[in-house]
Amino acid sequence: MRPSDLSFLHRFEPGDGSARPPLLLLHGTGGDEGDLLPLGRMAAPGAALLSPRGQVLEHGQPRFFRRLAEGVFDEADLRRRVEDLAGFVAEARAAYGLPAPVALGFSNGANIAAAMLLLRPDVLAGAALVRAMTPLASPPQARLDGRPVLMLSGAMDPIVPLANADRLAGQLTEAGAWLDRRILPAGHGLGQADVAALSAWFASTAMQGANAA
C-alpha cells in the first residue's frame, strides 16, 4: 500500500535510523496532523513520527471519536474508532516499514490512546498520555504485560478531575502496564513541565520498555 492510500490523512517524518521506536502522535480536539510534530521532535529526537488527523468533526473541529457532552463519551463510537485507528497503524507500519509505535496523545488523542491500550493492546508498544481521562466505563480485561505508560495530569485541570484520571491509572495498572503517573502544577494545556517530563521518559523508560516488548 502506498502512503497516499492510507485510511487517515496524516503526516510522516522518518527517523534517523536510531533504535528509538516510532511515535504515533494523537492531537487534541481542534488539532490536526501537524499539531504535535514539534512536541514529538522535542520529546524523542530522532524518532520517526506518524501523525494522523482525527476523522470525527465536532462543530468543524477534528477529533478521534464522538462525545455526547463535555467528559461524556460515545463509547460505541469510541470502540469503532479504535478499530479504525488500529487499522491505520497496521497500514502505516507496512507502508513505512515501522515497528509498533509508542503513542503520544494529548487530551482527546490521549483518550483514544488509552482506549486502544485497553481494547487493542497488541497495537502499541507503549503510550504517553497527557491530560487523559477514563475513556471506558467498563473496559475489557486487557493484558499489557509491562508495557510502559506515562500519565501526565494537571493538578488544576478544569476538564479532567483527578479522581477520573486516577480511575484510568487504576485500570492501566490492573491490566499490567508499567505505569509512571505524575501530577503536574498545571491546567489542561501543555507546558514546559510536560515537555521536560516527556523528554526524560522517552529517553529512558519508554525506550527500554518498548525495546523489550
Say whether 107 is catalytic: yes
Cβ atoms of 198 and 132 closer than 8 Å = no
Main-chain phi, psi angles of 68, to 5 degrees: -90, -30
In angstroms and rounded to an integer, the radius of gyration of the C-alpha atoms of the chain is 15
Name which of 82, 102, 98, 194 is nearest 144 in CA terms: 102
C-alpha dihedral over 150, 153, 159, 161, to 10 degrees?
110
Say whether 188 is catalytic: yes
Cβ atoms of 106 and 28 closer than 8 Å = yes
Main-chain phi, psi angles of 137, to 5 degrees: -65, -40
Name which of 123, 138, 168, 174 is nearest 150 in CA terms: 168
Cβ atoms of 203 and 150 closer than 8 Å = no
Catalytic residue among 107, 153, 180, 194: 107
Residue with cell 495498572: 173
Say whether 84 is catalytic: no
3-class DSSP state of 110: helix
Catalytic residue among 35, 157, 180, 194: 157
Catalytic residue among 77, 84, 166, 188: 188
Q: CA 62, 68, 69 angle in degrees (round to 5)?
A: 90
> How many C-beta atoms surround the C-beta of residue 185 within 10 A?
9
Q: Where in the sequence numbering do the catalytic residues fall?
A: 107, 157, 188
